A and B are shown apart, each in its own frame.
With several copies, the nearest count.
Chain A
Amino acid sequence: MVEHVKPIQPTWCPGCGDFGVMAAVKKGVLELKIPSENLVLVGGIGCSGGIHNFMDGYGFHALHGRLLPTAIGVKLANPKLTVVAIGGDGDGYAIGMGHFVHALKKNTSITYIVMNNETYGLTKGQASPTSHVGFEGNVEPPVDAILTALSIPAAAFIARGFSGTPKEATALVTEALRFTQERKGFAFVEILSPCVTYNDTYDLWREKVEDVGKRPGYDKADRGKAFSTVLDVMHSGKIPVGEIYRTPDDQLYTSLDRTLLPNPAEAPATVDISVAANLARYEKMLASLE
C-alpha cells in the first residue's frame, strides 16, 4: 500500500501528562476499531495541540482557539468520519471559549478532548483560564468547564478524567468516541494533564480527584443535580471527575449532523457534484428564475 505520513516522536517534555491522554485516545480508537483513514484529529495550538502529529490518521492543525469550528466543518462535510478535536485549556477556554459554548449548542457528533494543565504550556507557563488565584500572578478565579458545559441545554455528554489514572481516562474517552460514533451529538471530555515543567500537579491532583459517580445517589442524567454536586465537590477542595453528565438516549436532542444530513452517505464532501449528475435539477432551478 501507499506509504503515508508517519507519526513523529512526541515533542512533549518527558513526564508530561499529555502522554497519558494520547494513550487513552489511542486505546479508545483501537477499542472501537476506527480505521486510521476515517480518523480526523483536529489539534489546537499549544503543547497539547500537537498530538495529531504523533498519531496515525488524518491530522489538521487548526488555528489557536479555532479547532472546534474547524472540526464541526469537517464533520458536517462528511459525517462518516470520526472527528476528534483535541487541544489545551488556553486554546479551548480562553481564545476558544465562544466556540466551546457554541459547539456544545451546535451539538455535532464530534469528540472534544481538552488537556487541562491549568497553564499555557507552549508559551512558557502563563496563567490560563483554569489557573487558580496566585498562579503566576493570576488574580481571577478560574472557570470550570464542566460547570459551563452543564449550563448549555443541548450538552449531552460531559466528562472529566485525569491522565494520572489512565484506566478511567481511557474509559471516558472510549465512551465519548462511542457516543459520537452513534451520531448522538457532541461529547466533551476534559482530562487533567499536568505540565511537569510549569505546573507539576501530579501528586496534588492525584489526591484531589473525586469520582462523582461514587457519591451515593448520584444521577448523571440529572443536570441540576450534577451541577450542584460538582459545586459541592469543588467547595470541599476536591476536583470532580468521572462521567459527570449524560442525557438519556430518549431525551437527546437530535445531533446537528443527523438533522442536516440524515443519510451520512450523501454529504457535501461526498455527493457527486458533476454537472451531469445534477443536470435536471440545475436546469429546473435556473429555469425557475424570473
Chain B
Amino acid sequence: MSESVVAAHPEHASQTTPSQPPVARVLRDLSVLTGGQGGDGTLTVSDLLARYFHAQGMYVYNSRSVLSRIRGGYAAASSRASVEPTMAQKALQDVIVAFHQDAITFGEKTLSADGFILGDEKVVTNPGQNTVLLPISITAASKLGNPLYKNVIAFGALSVLMGMDREVARKVVEQRFGRRSEEARAKNLSAFDIGVELAAKSPGPKPRFSVERGTAKDQVLLTGNQALAYGFVVGGGRFFAGYPITPATPVMETLMKILPQYHGVVRQAEDELSAINMTLGAAYAGARAMTATSGPGFSLMTEALGHAGEAEIPVVITDCQRVGPSTGEPTRNEQSDLFHAVFASHGEFPRFVLAPGFPQDAYDIGIQALNLAEKWQLPIILLLDQALGENMQTTPRLTLKGVSVDRGKLLSQEALDALAAYKRYEFTKDGVSPRTIPGMKGGQSQVTGNEHDEWGHVSVNVENRKMMMAKRMTRLRLAKPDLPPPIIWGDEKARVGFIGFGCTFGPIREAQGLLKRKGISSRFYQARTLWPVPIETLAPFLSSVDVVFVVEHNFMGQFARLIRSFVTAHNIESIVKYDGSSFVAEEIAGHVEQMMKEHASYVPSKTPIVTYESEGGGF
C-alpha cells in the first residue's frame, strides 16, 4: 500500500485487519457492550475496559448511545479493543454486560456466535443463551451499601471471564477512583474483588477467552473534543466563549481546566449569540479566539459568522454536529450541518470549513486553524461530529513537533511605525490587509460589518464595492495551497475510490481492509478541507478511479452534492446514513459490494471531468 500524501500518523497508514474470526479463543479484536439505565453509571464499565486494554497496549475505540435525559431510559456504551489500529465500532459484540433487560433485548442480535452475556440477576428477566447471571447490584447494595458499585463489580467479574491480567485490572480501578478519596479507593477495590469472587464461583468455563496483548506504544486515550481543546491551547488560543450544548460542551469543560493556567479566558456566555460576539470581540482585540457549539447554537451564530467575514475578523467556530434539524437528537451522531457551514449567513464572504477525521487530526487542524484564521483574516469552521467529538480513542501522544504560531499580517508596533499610513482594509494583492490591535499607537481603525472603504468608513460606492468583494473573495482561491490537504489512504492503483470526512474515517479505513480481503482494492480520499471545495485534488482523484463512493452521515449526500456543483463527475455514488447511529465497516463494504454487483462493474467514465471553479465573480 502507499499514501499519496505522507500520512501524519504511521499507525494508521498500515492496513487495518480487524474483525478476524477469533482464533482458538484468543481474541485480537473484541468489543464489549454495556447496557443499562441512563445515569446509573453504565459508562464506567466501558471506561474501565478501555483503560485496561489501553494499558495492555491495545488500540481502543469507545462509543456510546445514550438518551438526552439524565436518569432512566436505555443507555449503552461499547468498548472495542484491537491489536491493530481501529477507529470504529465493531459490528458484533463479544460480550454484553446487561444492567437492564433492554441490553439483551436490543443487544442480543449483535452478539457474536461465541460471545457471552454477563447479566445482573436482579434486572435480567429473560436471560439469553450464553448468559452468566450474577447477583451484581444486590451484592453492591448489601456489601458496599450502594448499588452503584455494580459497575466495578461487573468489571471485576469480567476480569475473570475475559481472562484479564488481574493486577493490571485492579490497578486500573485504583487509578480511576484512588484520586477521589481513600474511601472511594478502598470501596471500589473491594467491589472489584467481590466481582472477581462472584465470577470465580459462577458455572461455565473461566475464562471464556483470552485476549492477545497489543504492542501500541506511546498512545493516549482521547476524544476529538479533548484533542481539539489541547490543540487550541498549544496553537496559542487564549480566549474561548461558549454555551453548554451536547455534544460540544466537553471542549469548554476541558478548556476551563487548562486555559486559565496560560492567562487565557474561558467564559460560559448567556447564549450562543453572546458567545460568538464575545469571541469576535476578543479576536478583534488580538486574542486567538474560538467558540464551540453544536447545530442549534451554530444556527444562532449565523449572523455573526457573516460579520466576521465582512469585518475580516480571524475566528474559529467549532461545530460538533449532532442529529438535526432543530433540537433533533442531541446525543446522536450525524454530519448534516455541512451545507449550513458552507452556505449559511446572508450575503457572500470567504470562510474555510475544515474537518478532522480522528483525534490527532483534530489537534493538528485545531492548531492550523488558528494560524489560517489570522493569516487569511476570516472565520473558520471546524466540523466535528458526535462520534469524533465524544468517542474515546487511542491516539498517538500529542507532541509539539512542527507546531508554530504564524500571526500573518498582524503588525508589530515597529512595523506599524514605519508605515506612512495605516488602513485596516487596504487593498493588497492577496486580499489580506495589515492588521493592528487596539492599544497600538497609530493603528486606530474602523472595523465594521457595513461595506466600507479602505479606512473602514461606510461606503456604498460601486467601484469600491466591487474591489472589496474581490479583495475578500479571492482569498478562497489564494489560500488553497495553505489549507489542510486530503490524506489519500490505500492502493494507488485501485479503481474504486472513497471520499469521506470526519467520523467516517475509521469505518471507511476498516471497510477498505474488508474489501481488500475480498479482492477489491480501493483508495480513500480523506477530505480535511471541505470549503473551498478542494477541486484541485478532488478532480484528479475522481479521474483516477472508475467509481467513487462518497460516504457521509446525512440524508442529502451533502458533500457529494457540493462536489458535483464544481465538477461534472459521472462516477459518484452516495452512501449515506442518517439514523443517528454510526457506520460500521461491514455496512460500507456491503454497500459497495452490492452496488458493484448491481452495476455489473464500474467502467472508466468516457466523459472527461470538467471543473467549474470560476462561477460568477470567479473565486
Contact = CB atoms under 8 A, between A and B. Distances in A.
A273 B238 contact: yes
A61 B447 contact: yes
A249 B449 CA distance: 38
Contacts of B142: none
A12 B326 CA distance: 22
B69 A37 contact: no
B239 interface: yes
Interface in A92-116: 94-95, 97-99, 102
Among A11, A50, A75, the most chain B Cβ lie within 10 Å of the Cβ of A11
Nearest to B267: A76
B282 interface: yes
Interface residues of B, number: 94
B271 interface: yes
A183 B448 CA distance: 27
A281 interface: yes
B520 interface: no
A5 B444 contact: yes
B68 interface: yes
Contacts of A127: 268
Contacts of B268: 126-127
A137 interface: yes
B307 A77 contact: no
A236 interface: no
A121 B442 CA distance: 33
B438 A76 contact: no
Contacts of A42: 281
A32 interface: no
Interface string A109-145: 0000000000011111011010000000100000000
Nearest to B260: A260
Contacts of B258: 285
B443 interface: yes
Interface in B186-235: 220-222, 230, 233-234
Interface stretch (A186-194, A237-245, A261-269): A261-269
A69 B239 contact: no
A59 B439 contact: no
A13 B67 CA distance: 13
Contacts of B222: 289
A207 interface: no
Interface stretch (B346-354, B400-408, B591-599): B400-408
A213 to B, nearest CB: 32
A275 B439 contact: no
A197 interface: yes
Nearest to A57: B444
A90 B268 CA distance: 12
A59 B68 contact: no
Given A66-B304, A76-B278, A281 B285 contact: no
A252 interface: no
Contact of B263 (A14, A71, A129, A266): A266
Contact of A40 (B280, B296, B438): B438
Given A63-B304, A268-B263, A5 B424 contact: yes
B524 interface: no
B327 A37 contact: no
A289 B444 contact: no
A95 B234 CA distance: 31
B348 to A, nearest CB: 17
A64 interface: yes
B349 to A, nearest CB: 14
Contacts of B273: 66, 69, 98-99
A279 interface: yes
Nearest to A47: B70
Contacts of A52: 446
Contact of B281 (A61, A74, A274): A74
Contacts of A70: 277-278, 280-281, 284
Contacts of A3: 420-422, 442
Given A13-B70, A278-B262, A73 B270 contact: no
B249 A63 contact: no
B443 A4 contact: yes
Given A8-B457, A72-B281, A73-B277, A269 B286 contact: yes
A69 B450 contact: no
Nearest to A105: B270
A79 to B, nearest CB: 10
Contact of B220 (A53, A94, A124, A289): A289
Interface stretch (B240-248, B379-387, B501-509): B240-248
B286 to A, nearest CB: 4
A204 to B, nearest CB: 20
A73 to B, nearest CB: 3
B307 A63 contact: yes
Contact of B444 (A37, A62, A63, A286): A37
A45 interface: yes
A268 B270 contact: no
Interface in B248-282: 249, 256, 258, 260-265, 267-275, 277-282
B25 interface: no
Given A3-B422, A69-B277, A273-B288, 14 more contacts: A3-B420, A12-B71, A40-B285, A50-B69, A73-B279, A74-B282, A75-B281, A78-B438, A269-B238, A271-B262, A279-B400, A282-B234, A286-B397, A290-B54
Interface of A: 1-6, 8, 11-14, 35-38, 40, 42, 45, 47, 50, 52-53, 56-66, 69-78, 80-81, 90, 94-95, 97-99, 102, 120-124, 126-127, 129, 137, 197, 260-261, 266-271, 273-275, 278-279, 281-283, 285-286, 289-290
The 6 tightest CB contacts between A and B, nearest first, are A73-B281, A273-B236, A268-B287, A269-B286, A268-B238, A73-B278
